[in-house]
Structure 1
Amino acid sequence: MAAKTAFSEEELSQLLSHYSLGKYIDSIPFTSGTVQTNIRLQTTQGQFVFRYYENRTVDSVLFETNLLLYLKDHHYPCPAPLRNIHGTLVGIHKQKPYVMFEFIEGQHIQEPTERQHKQLIQKVAELHNLTANYTPVHQEYRWNYSIELCRALAQQASKRINTATSLEKLSWLDNELLRLELPESLPKGICHADFNFSNVLFQNDEFRTLLDFDDANYTFLLFDLVGLIESRAWRYDKDTTLNFNEAKKVLSEYMRYRPLSSVERKHLFDVYKLSILFDCVWYFNRGDAADFFEKRKIDFLNRSGRKAFYQELFPC
């Protein structure tokens, strides 16, 4: 959420004139994050957050704002986008979209406690329960994680890098995608897709809000669950193995609020592999084709196999 674009006081005052949020007093750019520009505004009516989208289309931003309105209407802890005096949520400044958000007090936790981890898992499950039957607006303008998208992005990355290694990686990735089993019956909904604790605010040790839906998309609900398991249970060392005991703890906590269907339990293995293959796309230029981080993770899962993976995580 760092400021990529600088705004003068005059520019921010002019942007505020399109809202009934009071007159500009002061502003402080957020310093964390890497993608969009976020600035905290102080006005005569209070504090607000100005978010300037550096690399999103208006339709992609509308996906986000409509989702957040839906979540706020259902009392989910997330920042509300604010309408301007014309009743619209998304404005345009120098050909890029922007949104004004409510400001929510809270602290980012660098080393979350076990209790705070559990609170996050609960809120993820609640997000999935709320959006399991949600029909997203402008869904087609987001990268909705799927086999097809992963293959298309990998092809683009390989073409852009254009080396023998990139071609070998593309061939390997395509073969792994062909091995996945993701039936149509797998439940879908909104996944946040970025549960770094810099995107979570706590206050007095209580979960306050989930921020930054910039990567949110409509996909298998298991995708977020994989992310939660990944952060707690995967060993990032040369041997690259999954700690099944830690993974079961995450699953147990999640299923207190959203039990997994039988088809989800059976194909968690496949969604996990899809998640790793997307990581391979994000870091396509990293490592040698014969031995790179994501390949070692996939190799571990392939050695385990779908059946053994299932039996380790769901022994009963």
Structure 2
Amino acid sequence: MAVKTAFSRHEFSDILSHYNLGAYLDFAPIAHGSVQTNFFLWTTQGRFVFRYYENRSIGSVLFESQVIQYLKDHQYPCPAALKNRQGEAVGLYHEKPYIIFEFVEGQHLEYPDNLQKKQLIQKVAQLQNITRGYKPENTGDRWNYDTEQCCELAHAAAKRIGTPNAQAKLAWLEHELAQLQLPASLPKGICHCDFHFSNILFKDGEFNALLDFDDANYTFLTYDLVSLINLFMATFDWNTWPDFKQDEHVFDFRQARATVLEYNRHRPLDTNEKKYLFDVYKLSILFDCIWYFERGSVSDFYERRKITYLDSLSRDTFTAELFAAPG
């Protein structure tokens, strides 16, 4: 269960007294989610979702509320962040921020069918169409996925771990970041960055809402696109990669090509976005390296092997394969 902070009925009654959401009736913890604490709240006006941010600053949560308000203003399907009587969407309780969200009906599908996958891709493209160039007031309070942020987080991870292997991995990562080509002309906006099935709701088989903007940030618009694709064979994964030789062919572009084609229907990529998708994809792998910085020896680990394979493929071949006509 993903509840890190317990709440009593009296505490929820106190919190709800600042809203026009009816009188408190009941609450129940929400099991899914691994970072923040989530509860269902029932009042005389219905059901709501209470999210208590265990490890986010008030500025970071304000960024999230600003993004959600912007999306709701543009009719994007996501739960609204409900405002209290003072017109504020973010509250503080015991010095930690929280938001009360509207409850949206639907089911989490671990294995969506092809039509449902296309609906998700379309909604991701719509998200980037809406937020292109949008930079919320509290953008500086988020981890915005660029090379500078990646380097900063890697330094923090290496310092925290404090081993020679971590320092050597940091040096490798800094070298790889320096090789990326990410021109300032690449369009930016808001990306969600976490399309786990538990963050997507379907109702009667149709896409109904995108949830949990806890990792959303201001970055290259194509970052969400590369988050949706996997260029590697299904048998090549974090726990199987040592079984492959370093010169072995591990790519399978078929599913990635279909994803890019569908995305491009709803948000056509410009020439630069196509040309430098290779670099954004590598940047996403380097961020993955940070989330698992303690995993593996610097000489050969999962994310390093992926970067090595991509380099052997080259940017031009990557682009040609990814944007080739289906066949």
TM-score (norm 1): 0.97
1:272 corresponds in structure 2 to: 281
Identity of aligned residues (%): 56
State yes or no: 1:251 paired with 2:260.
Answer: yes
Listed as ranges, the matches of 1:75-90 within 5 Å are 75-90=75-90
Structure 1 residues not aligned, in runs of 5+: none
State yes or no: 1:288 paired with 2:297.
Answer: yes
1:133 corresponds in structure 2 to: 133
TM-score (norm 2): 0.94
Secondary structure of the 2:250 match is: coil
Q: How many angstroms apart in 2 are the aligned matches of 1:315 and 1:152?
A: 36
1:208 corresponds in structure 2 to: 208
Q: CA RMSD in A?
A: 1.5
Q: How many angstroms apart in 1 are the aligned matches of 2:233 and 2:87?
A: 45
**Structure 1 pair 233/132, CA: closer, same or farther in 2 (3 Å)?**
farther
- Whether contact under 8 Å (1:193, 1:227) holds in the other structure is yes
Secondary structure of the 2:219 match is: strand
**Structure 1 pair 88/231, CA: closer, same or farther in 2 (3 Å)?**
farther
Listed as ranges, the matches of 1:227-238 within 5 Å are 227-230=227-230, 235-236=236-237, 237-238=240-241
2:173 corresponds in structure 1 to: 173
- Whether contact under 8 Å (2:231, 2:252) holds in the other structure is no
1:217 corresponds in structure 2 to: 217
State the AA in 1 paired with 2:228: L
State yes or no: 1:305 paired with 2:276.
Answer: no
1:53 corresponds in structure 2 to: 53
- Whether contact under 8 Å (1:241, 1:297) holds in the other structure is no
1:28-82 deviation per Cα after TM superposition (whole angstroms, max 9, x unaligned): 1100110111111110011111111111111111101111011011110001011
Q: How many angstroms apart in 2 are the aligned matches of 1:141 and 1:290?
A: 34
- Whether contact under 8 Å (1:22, 1:45) holds in the other structure is yes
2:272 corresponds in structure 1 to: 263
Q: How many angstroms apart in 1 are the aligned matches of 2:150 and 2:323?
A: 28
Q: How far apart are 1:179 and its partner, in Å?
A: 0.6
Secondary structure of the 1:48 match is: strand
Q: How many angstroms apart in 2 are the aligned matches of 1:254 and 1:92?
A: 39
2:33 corresponds in structure 1 to: 33
1:148 corresponds in structure 2 to: 148
**Structure 1 pair 196/233, CA: closer, same or farther in 2 (3 Å)?**
farther
Q: How many angstroms apart in 1 are the aligned matches of 2:7 and 2:159?
A: 36
**Structure 1 pair 259/276, CA: closer, same or farther in 2 (3 Å)?**
same
Structure 2 residues not aligned, in runs of 5+: none
Q: How many residues align?
A: 316
Secondary structure of the 2:47 match is: strand
